[in-house]
Amino acid sequence: MQLISTGCVFGRMMGVATLACALASQSPAAFPVVTYHTPLGVTRGGEATIVLHGDRLSDAREVLFDQPGIEVVGCKPIDNKKVELKVKTGENLSPGLYSFRLVTASGATNLRFLGVGTMPIVQEVEPNNDFAAPQDIPMDRTVEGNVDREDVDCYRVSLKAGQKLTVEIEGIRHRWSLNNRDILDPYIAILDEERFEVAVSDDSALFQQDGVCSYTPEQDGQYTILVRDSSFLGQKNVCRYRLHIGSFPRPTTVIPSGGVQGEILQAKLIDIDGTITDASVQLPTDLLDPQNPSSGPTQPYPVVTADDAGVSPSPNWIRVGNLPIVTETEPNNDHRKAPECSVPALLCGVINEPGDFDCFAFACKKGEKYRVKLYARETLRSPLDGVMNLFDANGKSVKGSDDSGGKLDGFFDFTAASDSKHTIRIYDHLRGGSPLHNYVIEVSRLQPSFSIDLKELRRDEAMVVPVPIGGTGAMMVQVKRDQFNEEIALALDGLPEGVTAQTFPIPKGRIEIPVVLTAAADAQLKGTFFDVLGEGKLGDKTVRSDLQQHHKIVLGQNRRAMLEHSTPKAVMAVCEAMPFSIELVQPKTPLLRRGSKELLVRIQRNEGFENPVYLKTLYNPPGVGVNNSRKIDKGKNEVTIPITANQNAAMGTWPMVMQVSYGTKLGTQTVATAPIMLDVEDSVFNFKFPRAAAETGGETSLTLEMEKIRDIEGETEVQLVGMPNGVSCDAPVQKVTLESTTVTFPLKIAANAKTGLHKTLNVQTRIRRDGETMIQTNGTGEIRVDKPVVKKKPKPEPEKKPASPPPKKDAAPKPLSRLEQLRLEKESS
């Protein structure tokens, strides 16, 4: 058995399809798109004609393949939806998928894949959906077909007793869908003559949503291979597949699953039928760039297996780097008694049976920083759902990781707290295990680093940079920082002839910056691959990185990727000139914090071009807001674009670029203006608003306290704005100086002014210099408007009536004389 090095299959990139379910909306495409192509693949060692199907393809010019080995002989547009492509492949080209992009006079398309195989290709012939009338296929063939809705394709082969039949399908790997529609999720099965399924595969660990299965009969017979969508969905012409049928070797596991670059890997291959064979492969010597720590201590590397029965249709993936290999030694189930090794290292092993644990112990010194990263489902395509734990010398759990960062394999960083032994333990999340549950654990020293990608400017679509002849294109470079927060300088490599780049450093702590590209008036229509190189300083140490562009290929529910891919370079296309020239006018004065400004955009139209031109910022400096709804209408040649800065806007000088969109006969083209440098400076004054109150129909004075923040040149005035209805000021604009400490505004309150508390008062500072006005706005102040207090008239006192004379008191009775007393006594008797 021989393992063939396939460094050319995916070059130095990670061609990793990740499984998840998600929903994405595909933004309306105004750029060239390739939806599918026929055939999907070619047989190596010859020439083939391929027809690309899509939209806006009538100005197609060339095709760029990311990997070497495929020569483009011709590229000719048939109409707006089809392009004829002729390619030539080498006789020793390794089987696999080769990514490419079509370049047109207006840009470049999305990433697509061309399959390369070793077996002759047979086309599906309908009708073949009846088990009783299948399409007969010789062994060792690749079938190209299509699954329509509720379609079932049947193929029949004849086998001898003991002759292995392996069926591998490329289904979802040939789809492109960012809107969760028409996604081919293939189901394959091998049926005997009695219609019993002897082998089936829906999803697989090796190819995720693409399946692979195998069967070796004990007697001669005819067997039927069934292909359909797992949910009986599909779409005519779109849901195409490549079905590999034969006795070729199909390893599912390579053990050990890692190696040291430059060495010969001695490995055991576990085939899909369970047979184990020894194999060897010469690993590359230049897989890692020692000057680029962001690439990591290991990289994925593809190998293809060949024997007398044939060649595997696609590679297996391992990890290759500069770390020494440590292979597990049993018994190693107990983390308290784990075999010891030295790190950094690549720990290789297999969770051989259900309930198995593997443990690796190593010595650490206090303060040492390490990163521990598992590779099982990612890269290796192992069925292991790994869980890792880190224990200290006392057996106490220090760290742990299951899935992390949206990936199926975990990782963690740790710093040794003392000079002591630490132990890593790994097991399957569901306590599963088998000889196929392989893994590698990358234990490396934690190094400051950063990675570079291009920011998506159309949602879910990898950035392609169109640069018009005699004009400007632009892109956003973004970085992911890892223990590195310093300034990063950028440079571009591989620009087309006649194209120059204007780069800006990514400021400390920031993650993105624009790059502006200009094509000379005599530049030629052409597409090229280019790289973005980054470099920063951390003390006396230089940290470097280069581009890895991420491509979303198929999205499912919740906008999660079902298939994605990374390439080491991006594509730039020199495209047709714009029908106008455009200028974003450089302002002469800065934008102030808590301030506003208007940017002026001018165009000079070519004769006959009257379409509107739409404008949108490529990005906004931190804390700066832009009105991105402006356009230059038909018949107009300029427009102003309001911008504002909040009180925390990042001060400094920032490049600003406007994206420029306009209609063409093929759709909407988007290019860019040349950049301006926008200065963002601090505010000039702080203002303190008093609590003001007044009555309707009255007057009052509003006095604000002023505090100078900094010096600035220019004539300065302040204006009171935001007065509520019914409140006016005869002198709303007041001249001030930097030495002013107060400013007073006389207010008049109309009789019909709305009463209540109004929190709408603002004060604008205007500083005039060089023919421009800098504006700073402060607020919010308040004024309470009340109705006048009406004084009640005192009620008239009632007229006082003359006091009545006091009643006369009866005079005290006169005492009776003795004679009168006797007379009364006599009368009473």
Read out DSSP for 290-337?
TT-GGG-SEEEEEEEEEETTEE-SS-EEEEEESSPEEE--SS---GGG
Q: How far lies 701's CA from each of 375, 744, 754, 758, 760, in Å?
A: 73, 7, 18, 16, 16
Task: Give the pLDDT of residue 667.
Answer: 87
pLDDT category at 156 given cuts 50, 70, 90 is very high
Half-sphere exposure of 56 (CA within 13 A, CB side): 20
Residue 25 pLDDT more than 70?
A: no
Residue 292 pLDDT more than 90?
A: no
Residue 411 pLDDT more than 60?
A: yes
3-state secondary structure string, 373-387? EEECCCCCCCCCCEE
Residue 218 pLDDT more than 70?
A: yes
Q: Which domains does the chain show, CATH number per domain?
A: 31-117 (2.60.40.10), 121-246 (2.60.120.380), 251-321 (no CATH), 325-449 (2.60.120.380), 450-575 (2.60.40.2410), 580-681 (2.60.40.10), 685-786 (2.60.40.10)
Q: How far lies 39's CA from each of 51, 115, 194, in Å?
A: 7, 9, 33
pLDDT category at 29 given cuts 50, 70, 90 is very low
Give residue for tokens 């009866």: 810
Average pLDDT over residues 516-529: 96
pLDDT tens for 721-777 read 999 999 999 999 999 999 999 999 999 999 999 999 999 999 999 999 999 999 999
pLDDT category at 792 given cuts 50, 70, 90 is low
pLDDT category at 551 given cuts 50, 70, 90 is very high
Name the percent of the chain lying above pLDDT 90: 87
Q: Which residues of 540-561 are buried (b: 16+ CB within 10 A; e: fewer)?
A: eeebbbbbbbbbbbbbbeebbb
Task: Give the pLDDT of residue 808.
Answer: 62
pLDDT category at 19 given cuts 50, 70, 90 is very low
Residue 22 pLDDT more than 60?
A: no
pLDDT tens for 631-682 read 999 999 999 999 999 999 999 999 999 999 999 988 899 999 999 999 999 9
pLDDT category at 827 given cuts 50, 70, 90 is confident
Q: How far lies 801's CA from each of 449, 735, 804, 805, in Å?
A: 105, 69, 9, 12
Task: Give the pLDDT of residue 30.
Answer: 60
pLDDT category at 810 given cuts 50, 70, 90 is low
pLDDT tens for 426-459 read 999 999 999 999 999 999 999 999 999 999 999 9
Task: Give the pLDDT of residue 4.
Answer: 56
Task: Give the pLDDT of residue 809.
Answer: 61
Q: What is the dihedral of CA 808, 812, 813, 818, to 10 degrees?
A: -160
At 780, which amino acid appears?
Answer: T
Task: Give the pLDDT of residue 824.
Answer: 74
Average pLDDT of the chain?
A: 92
Task: Point out which residues pair with 735 in neighbouring strands.
Answer: 717
Q: What token pair was written down for 575?
A: 């495209």
Please state, in angstroms and rounded to a whole number, the distance separating the CA atoms of residues 355 and 336: 17
Task: Give the pLDDT of residue 104.
Answer: 96
Please state, in angstroms and rounded to a whole number, the distance separating the CA atoms of residues 568 and 67: 10
pLDDT tens for 452-486 read 999 999 999 999 999 999 999 999 999 999 999 99
Residue 829 pLDDT more than 70?
A: no
